Amino acid sequence: MKPHRKAGWIAGLMPAMALAACTSATPPAAMPAPPANPPANMQYLYGSGEAGAVSIQAFRALLNYAGEQVKARPVDSVVLAQGASLDAPAFAPCGQKPFAAIFDVDETLVLNLGFEYFDARTGQGFNDAIWDQWEKTGAGQVSPVPGAVYAVDALRSMGVTVIFNTNRAAANADATAQAIANAGLGKAVHGETLFLKGDDATGSKKDGRRWTIAGKYCVIALGGDQLGDFSDLFNQIASVPERRQAAIRGMAAKMWGNGWFALPNPVYGSGLKGGFEEVFPAGKRWDPPAATDGK
Amino acid sequence: MKPHRKAGWIAGLMPAMALAACTSATPPAAMPAPPANPPANMQYLYGSGEAGAVSIQAFRALLNYAGEQVKARPVDSVVLAQGASLDAPAFAPCGQKPFAAIFDVDETLVLNLGFEYFDARTGQGFNDAIWDQWEKTGAGQVSPVPGAVYAVDALRSMGVTVIFNTNRAAANADATAQAIANAGLGKAVHGETLFLKGDDATGSKKDGRRWTIAGKYCVIALGGDQLGDFSDLFNQIASVPERRQAAIRGMAAKMWGNGWFALPNPVYGSGLKGGFEEVFPAGKRWDPPAATDGK
């Protein structure tokens, strides 16, 4: 549809900012008042039927695809093999290994409502120490992504092992398993069906963990909200437009909805980068005619 | 993945706002400088590989579904019939009518890069007069949504008529057909394959136009970024959480990826509403333990 009734960033943000900045010549001692509403990206992801629809649709596509793979065992898994590139892809072999689907957790299967509520109200931006507290104490303040519980249950009914591969910390494995359980997603066992940052020496990279899993399972589907949930290779591309092109052309374009299943997340992550020149291609920038003739 | 390196709204917005508000006791005569970067929701939709992936996946699901419907003609279309409700759904019949798929245009098939570039830089918020100028003069500054050109071409190859149902103005029909053509989406003929606001007396409501189309065609798929692209009934629900529930439960939950296909749009529209109490359900709000014990 066409846009309507958007509040501009000036109208929406000037009053609180002006107040915070001008009532004193020194920096304000207290935090400014929280904004009147959550930002648009959170209204969308956590509050809209539209985002819920996109999520349910992604899980339905995943289940349709997984059902076909289980009926006719594929030769290859959907995990890019060690040494493969985006231009010369190769996939880890399936053999006769049992079936698995690998999912990221945060904003893929679980909505971090509690953390984002705090974040939006305080406006502090992301902070490792607070996120660590969230991992440790927030297991009660999550909800499942729409469609996730149905999908995970249906996969298990088909004989597909559901494996969680997240960048939450290995030190918080028990609390993360509890968050997964509280969201209605069942049992996660560290080292078996739960893989975490710190399980190997590659930090937040996930390829190593995927290769470990693909050594034991025929991985028929990957689900995630970030390109790094599918391959670390995307995050080696520094240019914002080149990274987007790598995801929507060539090999990757053939994988979306066809082994790789992407969930929406406009709230945070490695996709939220880029200045005006990177996000809006040359030749696609516009000014109203009235504004350019001096009016 | 877990959040990282997000800029908070305070850190991101304070400098420009403080400058604009404090350099003079009177309101500043000129617009404040544009923000350093586009907002996160535009970085996501227009700049990220992640959003491109979600879009391609939606179009692949639509094509898979349409291919099955063409092979085995359905009894019913996917257009809710006149008089139906979300609780008691009924669909317009297919009979032996030719196949069609109905798509919204803006942020469903076409990315309005030029308009959003202007909007983000000026921060004025949505304005009917400027949007009208955009409809009239912006046909060269659009791009297709990733996957849209492939999907539209493939549907036509299957014998499915592609019909555009948009809330752009009937008075701007020619310029809108040009924008559609420039995006690589082929020919749109007003009254035949292009339906616009002003074609009937119901304004921006789309059900009437859908019923007109379903009178001539067996509509096997709907594509849109807003719930109103599927049924006007959703927009009669004033409560933000009730509207979301209506989209992710009951009849609607069965339609996503199964006749109804949702494209991501966190930038504008009827899903971007709600205060903290509406977006974050009671019982899902959290504070770090350290912050609640007085630290």
Give residue B31's pLDDT. 61
C-alpha span between A235 and A245 (Å, rounded): 13
Query: Which token pair is B284?
Result: 């899902």
Residue A161 CB: number of other CB atoms within 10 A? 18
Domain A40-284 is classified in which CATH homologous superfamily?
HAD superfamily/HAD-like (3.40.50.1000)
Cβ contacts of B39 on chain A, cutoff 8 Å: 9, 40-41
Give residue B46's pLDDT. 98
Give residue B193's pLDDT. 98
The answer to whether B162 and B103 have CB atoms below 8 angstroms apart is yes
- Closest to B268 in 3D by CA, of B155, B135, B163, B127: B127
What is the four-CA torsion angle of A219, A224, A228, A231, rounded to 10 degrees? 30
Per-residue pLDDT of chain B (295 residues; tens, 9 = 90+): 454 445 454 544 444 444 444 444 444 445 668 899 999 999 999 999 999 999 999 999 999 999 999 999 999 999 999 999 999 999 999 999 999 999 999 999 999 999 999 999 998 878 899 999 999 999 999 999 999 999 999 999 999 999 999 999 999 999 999 999 999 999 999 999 999 999 999 999 999 999 999 999 999 999 999 999 999 999 999 999 999 999 999 999 999 999 999 999 999 999 999 999 999 999 999 999 965 543 3
Distances (CA, A) of A206 to B160, B171, B216: 41, 52, 51
Residue by residue, DSSP assigns A207-275 as HHHHHHHHHHSEEEEEEESSGGGT-GGGGG---HHHHHHHHHSHHHHHHBTTTEEEPP--SSSTTS---
| Shortest Cα distance, chain A CAs vs residue B98, angstroms | 26
Give residue B291's pLDDT. 56
Place of tokens 């305080």: A122
Cβ–Cβ gap B3/A123 under 8 Å: no
C-alpha span between A210 and A221 (Å, rounded): 12
Identify from B13, B19, B44, B102 which residue to disrupt to test chain A contact, counting A C-beta atoms within 10 A and taking the largest count: B44
Q: Nearest CB to A285: which of B117, B234, B289?
A: B117
Identify from B22, B45, B280 which residue to disrupt to test chain A contact, counting A C-beta atoms within 10 A and taking the largest count: B280
**Cβ of A14 under 8 Å from any chain B Cβ?**
yes
Q: What share of chain A is helix, strand, coil (3-state, %, to 5)?
A: 45, 15, 40
Weakly modelled stretches of chain A, pLDDT under 50 = 1, 3-5, 7, 9, 11-29, 293-295
Q: What is the pTM of this model?
A: 0.92
**Cβ of B78 under 8 Å from any chain A Cβ?**
no
Cβ–Cβ gap B49/A117 under 8 Å: no
C-alpha span between A246 and A250 (Å, rounded): 7
Give residue B34's pLDDT. 82
Domain definitions of chain A by residue range: 40-284
Q: Nearest CB to A9: which of B35, B107, B115?
A: B35
What are phi and psi for residue B274, nearest 5 degrees?
110, 140
Tell me whether residue A119 is exposed, middle or buried, using C-beta atoms within 10 angstroms of its C-beta: 0 to 12, 13 to 18, 19 or more: buried
C-alpha span between B173 and B131 (Å, rounded): 14
The separation between the first and the last C-alpha atoms of chain B, rounded to the nearest angstrom, is: 29
Query: How does B107-140 read in b/e, with b if 16+ C-beta sit within 10 Å?
Result: bbbbbbbbbbbbbbbbbebbbeebbebbbbbbbe
Give residue B8's pLDDT. 53
C-alpha span between B127 and B112 (Å, rounded): 15
